[in-house]
């Protein structure tokens, strides 16, 4: 068992956990980001508009019908809602530029927090791959661990029979957890990249909402992440990169209702 110590145990736990904690802080801090309307957004609302928050979602209240293109009426909220705002049965409100309801975070992904969800998915993939690599390196450093022994059922059996220590068992479990979150993150990230570059939302894509977007890929990225969109991925906190738009008006997007 001395060969196991050739890989520092702290490298596995501390490095992976630190990156994971940064990702979780980013996601949790911005879980209900779409519920907070900036002063610039409030100024763009007509004086006849009122707003309120229901379970973290910004919805319109008692807004006079003005016949604006793309506006629709929500039967559940009993109010007119701006284009790309759709009702969520779980959040019990109409979310600005609703993408989807994330059951992991327990909130809707919409106009104000979509970029944090994408960045969080990216860092989930990065930390998942890094963590799985460290765990695998730790297991390979042990001459007593074989490929078959790394299979989940065999790992459990070997630990229960006492042929392998608990450290090997828990490291193997950790490796599988990292691999699982890596696959989930890749799925989330690939889906978001596809709809964002097309100027759509996941809800519009799945429900085949008649939306035509004539903006470029670069403009679509800036709409979600801001002008310096790449900075969101360099540092996992997007507080310093201002988002463009207000979630109410959409240049280059045509709504056919």
Report residue 22 as tokens: 């940064």
Beta strand pairing call for 86-88 and 79-81: unpaired
Q: Determine what percent of the chain is predicted with pLDDT higher than 70.
A: 68
Q: How many CA atoms lie within 13 A of 3 on its CB side?
A: 8
Instruction: Write down the pLDDT at residue 229.
Output: 79
Q: Pick 132 or 72 by higher pLDDT.
A: 132
Give yes or no for residue 29 having a pLDDT over 70: no
pLDDT of the residue at 182: 94
Identify the burial level of 40 via C-beta atoms within 10 angstroms of its C-beta, where 0-12 means exposed, 13-18 middle and 19 or more buried. exposed
Q: Which of 14-23, 78-87, 125-134, 193-202 has the lowest mean pLDDT?
A: 14-23
Q: Which of 127, 179, 176, 133 is nearest to 154 (CA)?
A: 176
pLDDT on residue 187: 95
Q: What is each CA distance from 39 to 43, 69, 244, in whole angstroms?
A: 6, 24, 13
Do 60 and 82 touch, CB atoms closer than 8 A? yes
Nearest to 120 by CA among 8, 23, 223: 23
**What is the structure's pLDDT at 180?**
93
Could you tell me the residue ranges of all domains in the chain? 1-30+114-200
| Beta strand extents in the chain (DSSP E only) | 50-54, 57-61, 72-74, 79-81, 86-88, 93-95, 100-102, 107-109, 211-213, 253-255
CA dihedral (51, 52, 58, 64) in degrees, to 10, reads -30
- 12, two tokens: 């596995």
What integer pLDDT is reported at residue 35 of this predicted model?
A: 40
What would the pLDDT profile of 181-210 be if each residue is shown by its tens digit? 999 999 999 999 999 999 999 999 998 888
Mean pLDDT of the region 91-102: 88
Q: What pLDDT score was predicted for residue 236?
A: 59
Which residues are within 8 A (CB) of 65 and not within 5 positions of it... i.e. 6 or more apart? 71, 73, 80
CA distance 43 to 20: 38
**Do the beta carbons of residue 213 and residue 199 sit within 8 Å?**
yes
Write out pLDDT tens, residues 115-157.
889 988 998 898 899 889 888 888 888 766 677 767 778 888 8
Is the pLDDT assigned to residue 88 strictly greater than 80?
Answer: yes
Higher pLDDT, 63 or 78: 78
Higher pLDDT, 224 or 54: 224
Which tops the pLDDT comparison, 113 or 144? 113
């Amino acid at each position: 068992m001395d060969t196991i110590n050739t890989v520092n145990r702290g490298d596995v736990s501390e490095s992976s956990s630190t990156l994971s904690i940064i990702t979780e802080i980013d996601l949790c801090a911005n879980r209900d980001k779409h519920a907070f309307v900036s002063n610039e957004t409030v100024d763009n609302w007509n004086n006849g508009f009122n707003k309120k928050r229901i379970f973290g979602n910004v919805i319109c209240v008692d807004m006079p019908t003005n016949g604006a293109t793309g506006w629709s009426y929500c039967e559940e909220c009993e109010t007119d809602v701006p284009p790309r705002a759709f009702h969520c049965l779980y959040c019990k409100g109409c979310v600005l530029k609703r993408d989807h309801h994330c059951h992991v975070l327990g909130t809707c992904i919409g106009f104000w927090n979509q970029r944090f969800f994408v960045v969080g998915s990216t860092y989930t993939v990065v930390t998942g791959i890094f963590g799985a690599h460290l765990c695998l390196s730790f297991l390979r450093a042990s001459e007593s661990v074989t490929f078959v022994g790394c299979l989940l059922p065999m790992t459990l059996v070997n630990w229960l029979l006492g042929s392998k220590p608990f450290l090997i068992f828990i490291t193997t479990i950790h490796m599988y957890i990292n691999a699982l979150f890596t696959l989930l993150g890749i799925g989330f990230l690939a889906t978001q990249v596809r709809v964002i570059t097309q100027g759509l939302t996941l809800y519009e894509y799945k429900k085949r909402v008649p939306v035509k977007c004539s903006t470029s890929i670069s403009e679509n990225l800036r709409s979600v992440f801001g002008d310096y969109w790449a900075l969101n991925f360099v540092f996992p906190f997007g507080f310093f990169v201002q988002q463009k738009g207000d979630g109410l008006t959409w240049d280059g997007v045509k709504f056919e209702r």
